[in-house]
Amino acid sequence: MIRRNRLGDAVNLLPVIEGIKQCQPRIEIHVLASQYNAVIFQHSPYVDKVHRIDEKWLLGKLSLFMHPLLLSLRGESFDLVIGLGGYSSVLAQLVFWVKGKYNVGMLSKKGTLYDLAFDKGVHELVMDGKHHVDDMAHIARNAGLALPDPLPYTRMVGNSLKQDNWLAICPDVKRMESRYAINQYAQVVTELLSNNEVNKVILFTENASSVYRELEQYGAQWCSTQNVEEFIREVSQCEWVISAEGGSAHIAGALGLGVIVLSGMGHQVYWRPYAEFTRVLERKNAVNQIQPGEIMTEFRALKACM
């Protein structure tokens, strides 16, 4: 299974992998991932082996045909190779150069030579209210793999013991539409701590210079993490998280935390964390219209049901 790109993309493949193992327990699953998202699959008990590819090696996509990892994987003669995700020329090339006995992937919308990389090309799933996980499952089913219905939630194995009543805040996000105001986060942190509704608020930021470190003035305790593995280790100690939409929300949900997602994108029907304890607050292009009181209401409801 080949799954490149972002952390959330990787997390959303986990229910499909677990579902395949449930229905075909003797199957051996390898995942070819990017340098960035491979860590996600290392925290799944259903992945037998993870391979990391540096797509910038030598001349990048121009030299994939001679990439030593792809040459090694080609020698494995996999029974099935699946490219997961929307169509891309790089994904099609990766499938072609690994070259299993049967190769499956998403077709381009207009038709290109790269479509010839697949023995079975898959057309886009058309379904109202679909989730990103549905698209991954659609490709797997078209590859002839049995999956349960419904699929299991995303699941990752953390490596830290949960601490009683700890809450994480993950405010940084590259999409400006989802950057929630510091003063509004501050109101939430202040109320949580003053009412003793949590024992500790842990603040995770993209880097040490994040403007959100101002929340330390209101009682949040900043946690320094240098990479995704360290973030997984530290956040898995918490019971809940308030997060901007993105990878941190998906990881937290897969670790079993209660998740409140703040979004200004308007796409959370498709991209929300596919996890059991998730609440989404979304205002398209107006994330700061979400009131701190709404977040508190959702937190209390989430806490009551866990």
Of 142, 175, 193, which one is at a domain's C-terminal end?
142
Residue at 277 is within a domain: yes
What is the number of structural domains in the chain? 2
- pTM equals 0.97
Quick check: 160 pLDDT over 90?
A: no
Residues 30 and 114 grouped into a single domain: yes
Residues 64 and 16 grouped into a single domain: yes
Residue at 150 is within a domain: no
Own/partner long-range contacts of 47-56 (Cβ < 8 Å, ≥24 apart)? 47/17, 53/94, 55/4, 55/90
- pLDDT digit string (tens) for 253-283? 999 999 999 999 999 999 999 999 999 999 9
Confidence of residue 159 (pLDDT cuts 50, 70, 90): confident
Burial 35-53 (b: 16+ CB within 10 A, else e): ebbbbbbbbbebbeebbbb
| First and final C-alpha spacing in the chain | 33
Distances 203 to 13, 43, 73, 208, 304 between C-alpha atoms, Å? 27, 23, 40, 11, 23
Residues 198 and 293 grouped into a single domain: yes
Quick check: 298 pLDDT over 90?
A: yes
Residues 21 and 138 grouped into a single domain: yes
Residues 136 and 257 grouped into a single domain: no
Q: How far is CA 149 from the centre of its chain?
A: 21
Burial 270-282 (b: 16+ CB within 10 A, else e): ebbbbbebbbbbb
Of 109, 126, 142, which one is at a domain's C-terminal end?
142
Count CB-CB contacts under 10 A for residue 10: 30
E strand or H helix at 301: helix 292-305
Residues 44 and 84 grouped into a single domain: yes
Residues 131 and 38 grouped into a single domain: yes
User: Which amino acid type is present at position 50?
Assistant: V
Instruction: Calculate mean pLDDT across residues 16-39.
Output: 98
- pLDDT digit string (tens) for 101-138? 999 999 999 999 999 999 999 999 999 999 999 999 99
Residues 171 and 300 grouped into a single domain: yes
Residue 152: cis peptide before it, omega within 30 degrees of 0: no
pLDDT > 70 in the chain, percent: 100
Quick check: 301 pLDDT over 90?
A: yes
Beta bridge partners of 166: 200
E strand or H helix at 242: strand 240-244
Instruction: Calculate mean pLDDT across residues 65-72.
Output: 96
Residues 63 and 172 grouped into a single domain: no
Residues 25 and 117 grouped into a single domain: yes
Beta bridge partners of 52: 33
Residues 133 and 178 grouped into a single domain: no
Query: What is the model's pLDDT at position 268?
Result: 97
* Rounded Cα distance, 246 and 267, in Å: 11
Confidence of residue 53 (pLDDT cuts 50, 70, 90): very high
Instruction: Calculate mean pLDDT across residues 234-246.
Output: 97
Give the CATH number of the domain where residue 47 resides: 3.40.50.2000
Query: What is the model's pLDDT at position 66?
Result: 96
Of 93, 108, 142, which one is at a domain's C-terminal end?
142
**Which domain, by its residues, includes 292?**
166-305
Residues 8 and 128 grouped into a single domain: yes
Quick check: 176 pLDDT over 90?
A: yes
Residue at 149 is within a domain: no
Residue at 227 is within a domain: yes
